[in-house]
Amino acid sequence: MSLVQAVDPVARLAEARARLKAATAEAGAERDVEIVAVTKTHGPEAIRPLLRAGHRVFGENRVQEAEAKWPALKAEYPDVVLHLIGPLQTNKVREAVALFDVIETLDRPRLADALMRQERRPTVFVQVNTGEEPQKAGAPPLEAEAFVEACRARGLAPAGLMCIPPVDADPAPHFALLATIARRSGLKGLSMGMSGDYEIAAQLGASHVRLGSALFGPRG
């Protein structure tokens, strides 16, 4: 018998769903929160059980890694909705737009321009660097509203905002800040919350949570 308990992502997804239901009920209004199953570092054999169970919303943080596994899976499951949750370089836009249905990491005018030049138009979220960390992507919080407006002026209407709070910080103020900016900008989408803090994010208004290790176990 193995000492390592096999991880069952389908059971874990059901558990996360139940926890999200409870978290939103506790916050005063039970509602559905979309789970983006983050499959980075995991191969098709880990992903397939979720697809067979009917899950369709997935996330990857690197264009190249996603290109290695998702075209085949999307051919099999055409209704998959694939989110890019990692930084996007302008020279990778064409490839990203061909594969991803949602780009969560729009954070600068040059990237908005590059996206506008593509024929295919994925849904976009504006990433906000709520912790103003120099090494992290995202529009600065004080410039986020103006950037959303600048995107709209280009004809690229964002569906929401996304953030990744600093690793060691209490995430709640970051989620609250993101929700405030979204409200001011008239945006409904809020991609916030990962495996360690998704219930807090749901209580603070998340429309999407991005779960990797909560579903698949720790990444090796």
Name 95's Cβ contacts closer than 8 Å, sequence gap at least 6: 63, 67
Distance (Å, rounded) from C-alpha 150 to C-alpha 157? Answer: 9
Q: What residue number has its CB nearest to ligand PLP?
A: 212
Q: DSSP class of residue 92?
A: G
**Coarse DSSP helix, strand, coil percentages of the chain, rounded to the nearest 5 percent:** 45, 15, 40
CB of 58 to ligand PLP, least distance (A): 11
Could you say whether residue 194 binds ligand PLP (CB under 6 A)? yes
- Tell which one of 84, 85, 106, 177 touches ligand PLP (CB under 6 A): 85
Could you say whether residue 195 binds ligand PLP (CB under 6 A)? yes
> Which region, judged by CB under 6 A, interacts with ligand PLP, from 74-82, 109-117, 153-161, 211-219?
211-219
Could you say whether residue 214 binds ligand PLP (CB under 6 A)? yes
Nearer to ligand PLP, 16 or 148 (CB): 16
Which residue's entry shows tokens 């059901």? 14
Could you say whether residue 41 binds ligand PLP (CB under 6 A)? no
Backbone angles phi, psi at 18, to 5 degrees: -65, -40
Could you say whether residue 61 binds ligand PLP (CB under 6 A)? yes
Contact code string over 1-40 relative to ligand PLP, x by CB under 6 A: -------------------------------------x-x
* CB environment 89-109: b (16+ within 10 A), e (fewer): eeebbeebbebbbbbbbbbbe
- Estimate to the nearest angstrom the gap between the alpha carbon of 134 and the chain centroid: 21
Which residues in this chain contact ligand PLP in the complex, by CB under 6 A?
Answer: 38, 40, 61, 85-86, 164, 194-196, 210-214
